[in-house]
Structure formats: C-alpha cells, structure tokens
Amino acid sequence: MIKTHNLTKIFPRSTVPALKEINLEIQDGEFVSLVGRSGSGKSTLLYLLSTLDTPSEGDVFYDDINVKMIPQEEIFKLRNKKIGFVFQFHYLLQELTAIENVLLPARKAKELSQRRELSLRLLDEVGLKGFENRYPSELSGGEQQRVAIARALIMEPTYLFADEPTGNLDSQNGQMIIDLFDKINREKGTTIIYVTHDKEFAARARRQISLADGALL
C-alpha cells in the first residue's frame, strides 16, 4: 500500500504550493488514473508517490514505512526492483539498441540473462517484434516511447507509474498500451498509477483521482 500524509510540494521561487496537504491511500493491486487540468498537480503527485521527488512537507509511506526514513541506497534498490516509471519523454540511450535499452534496469540489478526472454516478450507486446536491434534514431517517436514502456516493465515492478504514457502515441497504439497496463494489473496484480489528459484512457482505470489547484477533489 502507498499512503500519504499532508503531502505538500512548493517549488523553488514559488509561493504557491503545487500540492497542498494531500492525504491519500492506494491499495496494492489498484489501477488508478490521475486526472485534472494542466497545472493541477497530477505529475507532481506522481513523482512524489514514486520517490523520484521529495515533498516540501508531509510524508509518503510504502507499507507503513516512511520513505524519508529509508537510506538513499535502499531507495535506489526500491526504484530499480519494485518501481517502474514511464516518463513523458522516452529518455532512451542513443548508443544502445531497443533491447539493450529495455534491459538497462536488469543490467543494474545483475539479472541480464534472466530477463532477456522477458524483454523479447515485452517488445512483442508493445508491437515492436523484429525491432530489437534497432537504435533509437531508427525508430519513430511513438516507437521509442513503446521501448521506454517495455523498459519500465522489465523488472516486473510491484508499482508502475506513468506520466502521460500515451501522449506521444496515436489512438491505436495508445489503446494497445492501456490494454497492456490493464492486462498486467489483472494478471500480475501490479499497482498501476498513471496521469492522462485523455478522458477515454482515464476511464479505463478502476479508480480515478481528480486534482485541481494542487488539491484532491
């Protein structure tokens, strides 16, 4: 379970909180979309929940363990082993092939050989079978984003966070990704939390969390 207590974020050189005292519980196995207008605090909340950013005030708990109390080295292990994150931009390494990019977290965890078969299966599931040895410069923007999604799934994370995962995809490929998220959630029990502006994709989640002006609605 992920829980927050009075979670607040104020960015430097700003006097207006991006998030204001958010109190929230997300149970293991939930499929959640974060919705709201631009500037409502959706992505900020996602980054705080995923430990990729730290709050100005308040706390984030993973199974009643306060993230603030976890040593930095253990935070890194948590992110690599249990947390997958899909950014708005793909952030692929240009000198690596698609499959090498997907396997980067496995390399860090020293599980490269054990995860290779899964990497091929994930590339197939995101519609990139046969693209394994292509470099990012040989892929379209949408294809690169799908490689990034496969990379986020390679460690079979307990928690998957996604910031506008379909933003760079056409409707057909966007639907494919949401279908994949739904399948992973149902079959593996992965907790999935994603930000989207697309009302149809938001409605696919089994719970919607709405924000406005940094507060929960």
The answer to whether residues 178 and 2 touch, using CB atoms and an 8 Å cutoff, is: no
d(CA 91, CA 104): 12
CA-based Rg of the chain, rounded to a whole angstrom? Answer: 17
pLDDT one-digit tens code per residue, 99-136 = 999 999 999 999 999 999 999 999 999 999 999 999 99
58 CB-near residues (< 8 Å, 6+ apart): 4, 5, 6, 7, 8, 21, 22
d(CA 13, CA 26): 31
Average pLDDT of the segment spanning 7-34? 96
pTM for the full predicted model: 0.94
Residue ranges of domains in the chain: 31-52+72-216
Average pLDDT of the segment spanning 188-196? 96
Annotation: CATH topology of 31-52+72-216: Rossmann fold (3.40.50)
Of 211, 128, 125, 216, give the one whose Cα is nearest residue 176: 125
Average pLDDT of the segment spanning 53-73? 95
Strand pairing of 215-216 and 19-26? Answer: unpaired
